[in-house]
Structure 1
Amino acid sequence: TTRDAINLRGWTLRDDDGNRYRFDNVRIASRATIRIHTGNGRDTRTDLYQDRREYVWGNRADTAILRDDRGRTVDTESWGRRHH
């Protein structure tokens, strides 16, 4: 959440298994929300699609890691507990 608009070009969203989505020239407005979908669809200002045929996110446990264009972790969100 930020007061400034941000260009997400080169930013990545990754899961625990190393599946990675790389943002193209996507600009997010201040205090706006973008939903990233795993499946197929048409990108809009508020919804982006990875165009994958298989599921990425674990229902029982996983971690979403958002990194900026320099590879620095901006945010993470984890759920459940991984069994190694």
Structure 2
Amino acid sequence: MHSTRTTAAVLAVCGAAALALAAAPAQAASGSVHLYKIYYNSPGTDTRSASSLNAEYVQIKNTTTRNVSLRGWSVTDASAHKYTFPAFTLGAGKTVTIHTGKGTNTAANRYWGSGNYIWNNDRDTATLKNFVGTRIGACSYNSTSSSYKIC
């Protein structure tokens, strides 16, 4: 009888452990791909130089535990300026910065390619949409007391 009780207890513990392990991947996969930060007022005078344009940017963060393809995803402002990702994968736990100006795209930095500023210095809204056009999120600011907004 003692071994039957021991076996039942071991099976109960193993069953509970198996259920916990089965639930772990779903919990680990939680998180999101979302707008993280907008730096809307680049430092200094607005000269439209490459360094000034590229000091204005929006960041997208992947807080999931998996890589996410952003191909076809887009970021727009309230005036309908639009950046669309070409083939691009955002790594698990990574952030990508989309600079307003021109530059060489990397895994961490992308370039809108604009010769004009995108983000208004006082108020604007960034909207992130996935490849089918579903709104993933938006981030608005209405302030001249700061140069950036954490979304």
State the TM-score, normalized to the length of structure 2. Answer: 0.52
Deviations 1:14-71 (A, max 9, x none): 0000000000001000110000000011111100001110001111000100000011
Q: How does 1:1-84 map to 2 (within 5 A)?
A: 1-80=63-142
Question: What number of residue pairs does the alignment pair up?
Answer: 81
Of all paired residues, the percent bearing the same amino acid is 32
- Larger helix percent: 2
Instruction: Name the structure, 1 or 2, with higher relative contact order (CA <8 Å, separation 6+).
Output: 1
CA RMSD of aligned residues (A): 1.0
Long gaps (5+) in structure 2: 1-62, 144-151
Q: Which runs of 4+ in 1 moved over 3 A?
A: none
- Aligned-residue offset at 1:12: 0.5
Separation in structure 1 between the aligned mates of residue 76 and residue 65 of structure 2, nearest angstrom = 25
Separation in structure 1 between the aligned mates of residue 102 and residue 116 of structure 2, nearest angstrom = 10
